[in-house]
Structure 1
Amino acid sequence: MKHDPALSPSAVRQRAAAHRAMALAALRADSSLSVRLKRYSAAMARARALEAQEVAL
């Protein structure tokens, strides 16, 4: 599957929101604290990167 790097601003916002939701879900997962924190941090980093990309558009 080829990824299209030119997303519309609304699509970027939706993806960022999805990553924020994944981050919160990671905190509630049935995993060890270190795993939950690692997943949360990764998802929030993606959300922040998408939001920064949206500002640049």
Structure 2
Amino acid sequence: MKHALNPSTPSTHADAYKAMALAALRADSSLSVRLARYNSHMAKARTLEAQGVAK
């Protein structure tokens, strides 16, 4: 019997942060704000992906 996938895995969260990073680039804000938001979200995504690989 297969178990249901856990929707709160690090990779799922990482995918969400990647989506937010791309949305930040398309936002109606200054370039510096968009870049800062993108970098912040991508840093979180990379951290979560690293945690997922380490486990």
Common fold by TM > 0.5: yes
Q: CA RMSD in A?
A: 1.3
Bigger Rg, which one:
2
TM-score of the aligned structures, taking structure 2 as reference length: 0.84
Gaps of 5+ in 2: 1-5
Gaps of 5+ in 1: 1-7
User: Residue in 2 aligned with 1:14?
Assistant: 12
Aligned length: 49
After superposition, the C-alpha distances for 1:6-54 in whole angstroms (9 at most, x for unaligned) are xx6x611110000000000000000000000000000000000000000
Amino acid at match of 1:42: S
| Residue identity (%) | 65
Moved over 2 A (4+): none
Question: How high is the TM-score relative to the length of structure 1?
Answer: 0.82
Is 1:55–2:26 an aligned residue pair?
Answer: no
